[in-house]
A and B are shown apart, each in its own frame.
Chain A
Amino acid sequence: MKLRTLLYFLCICFTLLTVSCSQKPSFYNKYTSVFKIGDQQEWATKEFNDQNWKPILRYVPDGQVFWSRTKIDIFEDSDSLRPYGIYLHVYGEYEVFWDGVLIGKNGNPGQEATLGKVGKMWTTHSIPIDLTKKGTHVLAIRTSLYYFPDHLRISGLKIDTYDDLLADRLIETSYMHLFAGAFLIASIYFFFLFLSNKKEYATLIFSICCFLFFALIFAEFIKAYMAIHYSMHLVRLQIINVLMVCISFLIPFYFSTQFPFPKRKLLLIIYAGLLLYIFLSRHIIELTSNNMALSMLVFSFVIVGYGVYKKRKGALLVLFTLLLSVLIGAVTPFNKSIFSGFTFILLGMFYLLSLRIKEQRLAYENSLVQSTRLRLELLKKNIQPHFLMNTLTSLIDWIEEAPKKGVLFIEALAKEFDLFNQIENKTLIPITQEIALCRTHLEIMEYRKEINYSWEEEGINYEEKIPPGILHTLLENGITHNLPLEDNSITFKLTFESNNDYKCYTFLTFAAPINHETTKKEGTGLKYIKARLTESYNKQWDLTSEPMNNGWKNTIKIYC
């Protein structure tokens, strides 16, 4: 149900996005621009014949002035109160002429070397109303390109009412910044989450991705309100590209941690190499981003596809978000699709993360339940009928037959109950306490079974701690599943060794085994010990239980 709601949500987002990205019909038509090196004021005029001008100029050395002329047809007169404006994205410092009239100035063309860097990459100029009547007009730009003599082009040109040109950019920018803010907050939040649990690298990767995405949006849209001189433009593009490389690597990397596949490291290294190659080759900057985004998508697809094939949780939905971002990429221009596409992918990652967090929560709740269960099991040792009723029956008998011994028996019993009370709510107790527990238990069992039990210990480090009741459980097993030796005795021996790698308890039972014992399955005792060891040492332990020559041998190894 939850998954379906999310799918609907994504579909709606997608529809809204494609609708908002569709273009409104244009009321002007722009012809190809033509260029000429030189500087004559009459080149600005509408009537000037530019037939011998060239559509492309490759190189203008030494910051020389050159002109470009662009014919523009306007199909509708402008509203008398809302003049048209022109938005330009042009390299260089320039003056803008409309039908021979100077309508804007950006820097000092021809004097860049002497007057320094003035102006910006993106400019908006209003056009006088009387010059925007229906018909053909000429846009002439007088430019110099001191810093990038080979970047002769008009990268962007847009005509609309002047107000809209200004407002649209601000609206777009403010929305994108809202967006960026959301990712910044997500990034900070998940970073804090990571700090509180440093084993969760997925959260860190997600946090970094969010931050990089925030930075990417910022780098892209900062141009709306910060004057960036054209000489600095490349720096900005390089920043964007570096961000792209990082994101393009991290997203598939993230997916690879969520949906592991064979030879993961090798494939990731190859992929990183591919990204670096694209980044360093960069013939055309826009294409570089494009290629990186494309390889990111392809690689992610393969990983997530593998995840779906392996029926990993959440893989199907992530595949769906990837498909959505591909669809968006197909129907919208790159500079828009890159953001929406990334957003969907990040949402997919977010979804995965929430799945993992849910899993962790469940695991945590499970561990709580498990701890309670173990505690109850420990408590139950003393009230389970087999122990309690047999003890009481023997006790009654002792009191009836030998009251003084009966009192000693009661004292031993009281001591064991007392010890249990002390340890019942702990997950680790001093080894001395556990040994005391074992000794009292033997005392009780001696009264019950009338067998000579003895306890030996060797090499014990009395500072060590141990989960409660595990040696006691081994002892119980030893008592239950063995018969006394010929001299009516059973001896238990606990030895301890430790080195840099592990600590090892060996618990030996010297007794006669019961013939034809049928218990092959694991008893509840061993299960209890294993659960306790897991509770305190995770998987860093080993338990072996095997017969030996004259009894039974248990070893508990705890790795450091």
Chain B
Amino acid sequence: MNILIVEDESRIAKRIERMTRDILGDALQSIKHMNTLYEAIRYIENHSLDLVLLDLNLNGNSGFDLLTTAVSESFHTIIISAYNDQAITAFEYGVLDFVSKPFNRERLQQALHRAISNEKGITNPIKFLAVKKRHKVQLLPVKDLLYIKGAGTYTELFLVDGRKELHDKSLEKLEQLLAPSFERIHKSYVVKMSEIKEIIVESGSKYMVELKNGEHIPIGRTKYKDIKAKWF
């Protein structure tokens, strides 16, 4: 795993680094510490990362600027901050976890575990998906999202109004953030369950869902039973 710590308090950064090394052991490939927003953004642009541990208040600047950039990237973001009141907003933006200061090893471990294990079911619902556009990041309301199709390391977001957007996060990571109102029904599809009209069984035991707008999306053979049991 490649991890970046963005934190302007040197003692705390060292603590995070030490604990992370300890928790992840051999799974950790590299860990880097950045002091300022500007350095962090530059680093993110030029390096491939799996996880960013981000402080929300850096040198008197709000980390939300960095946060929108970070959540639009392929990696997960975990906030470590003193401002508990910003936790809800952070979750809405699509962070994986929010660790409030002061924290201990157990809490950090829990957060890191979530990043490693693809554990689903974040209690605070996400409201936006940050999508990278030319020179800027756009926040896309999750309520406008119909389903997501995996396309290699990227994903395609299909929206209510028929538009299609690209996202840098993998289908697995988005599934993790969007659960439980979204469900992985196929190895390449995550669908908003409330948009499903019915399940159609086609010849040759092919299963499809019909969405309210008439679109058909395949259901994975292995997923069918689970979904049928859970939702219908």
Q: Which residues of A contact B (CB under 8 A)?
A: 385-386, 388-390, 392-398, 447-451, 477, 480-481, 483, 514-519, 523
Identify 9 new A-B residue pairs, CB closer than 8 A, beyond the known A477-B60, A519-B60: A389-B100, A394-B9, A396-B104, A397-B15, A447-B11, A448-B9, A450-B10, A518-B61, A523-B60
* Cβ contacts A to B, 24 pairs, < 8 Å: A386-B82, A389-B102, A390-B101, A393-B12, A393-B103, A394-B12, A394-B15, A395-B102, A396-B104, A447-B11, A448-B11, A449-B8, A449-B9, A449-B10, A451-B10, A477-B60, A480-B59, A481-B59, A481-B60, A515-B36, A515-B38, A516-B38, A518-B65, A519-B60
Q: Within the assembled complex, what's the spacing in Å between the Cα atoms of A393 and B99?
A: 12
Residues on B with C-beta less than 8 A from A448 are 9-12
Q: Within the assembled complex, what's the spacing in Å between the Cα atoms of A87 and B83?
A: 92
B101 smallest CB distance to A (angstroms): 4
Q: Within the assembled complex, what's the spacing in Å between the Cα atoms of A517 and B38?
A: 8
Q: Within the assembled complex, what's the spacing in Å between the Cα atoms of A447 and B100?
A: 20
Given contacts A386-B57, A386-B82, A388-B82, contact A394 B36 (CB under 8 A): no
Instruction: Choose among B14, B59, B65, B84 the residue with the greatest number of A CB atoms under 10 Å from its CB.
Output: B59
**CB contact list, B206-224 vs A, under 8 A:** none
Contact with A along B82-107 (1 / 0, CB 8 A): 11100000000000000011111000
Residues on B with C-beta less than 8 A from A514 are 36, 38, 59
Closest A residue to B38 by beta carbon equals: A516
Residues on A with C-beta less than 8 A from B15 are 393-394, 397
Q: Within the assembled complex, what's the spacing in Å between the Cα atoms of A517 and B39?
A: 11
B22 smallest CB distance to A (angstroms): 12
B82 touches A389 (CB 8 A): yes
A397 touches B84 (CB 8 A): no
Q: Within the assembled complex, what's the spacing in Å between the Cα atoms of A385 and B65?
A: 20
Residues on B with C-beta less than 8 A from A451 are 10
Q: Within the assembled complex, what's the spacing in Å between the Cα atoms of A483 and B36?
A: 9
Contact with A along B1-25 (1 / 0, CB 8 A): 0000000111110110000000000
Q: Is B188 an interface residue (CB 8 A)?
A: no
6 closest Cβ contacts across the A-B interface? A389-B82, A393-B102, A389-B101, A385-B82, A394-B11, A480-B60
Residues on B with C-beta less than 8 A from A394 are 9, 11-12, 15
B34 smallest CB distance to A (angstroms): 12
Q: Within the assembled complex, what's the spacing in Å between the Cα atoms of A176 and B102?
A: 80
Q: Within the assembled complex, what's the spacing in Å between the Cα atoms of A481 and B38?
A: 13
Q: Is B35 an interface residue (CB 8 A)?
A: yes
A397 touches B38 (CB 8 A): no
Given contacts A447-B11, A483-B35, A483-B36, contact A392 B60 (CB under 8 A): no
A559 smallest CB distance to B (angstroms): 30
Q: Within the assembled complex, what's the spacing in Å between the Cα atoms of A394 and B35?
A: 16
Residues on A with C-beta less than 8 A from B12 are 390, 393-394, 397, 448
A26 smallest CB distance to B (angstroms): 87
B96 smallest CB distance to A (angstroms): 20
Residues on B with C-beta less than 8 A from A480 are 59-60
Closest B residue to A388 by beta carbon equals: B82
Closest A residue to B80 by beta carbon equals: A393
Residues on A with C-beta less than 8 A from B36 are 483, 514-515
Closest B residue to A397 by beta carbon equals: B15
B101 touches A398 (CB 8 A): no
Q: Within the assembled complex, what's the spacing in Å between the Cα atoms of A518 and B65?
A: 11
Closest A residue to B85 by beta carbon equals: A385
A489 smallest CB distance to B (angstroms): 13
B84 touches A385 (CB 8 A): yes
Given contacts A386-B57, A451-B10, A481-B60, contact A396 B82 (CB under 8 A): no
Q: Within the assembled complex, what's the spacing in Å between the Cα atoms of A244 and B104?
A: 86
**CB contact list, B15-72 vs A, under 8 A:** 15, 35-36, 38, 57, 59-61, 65
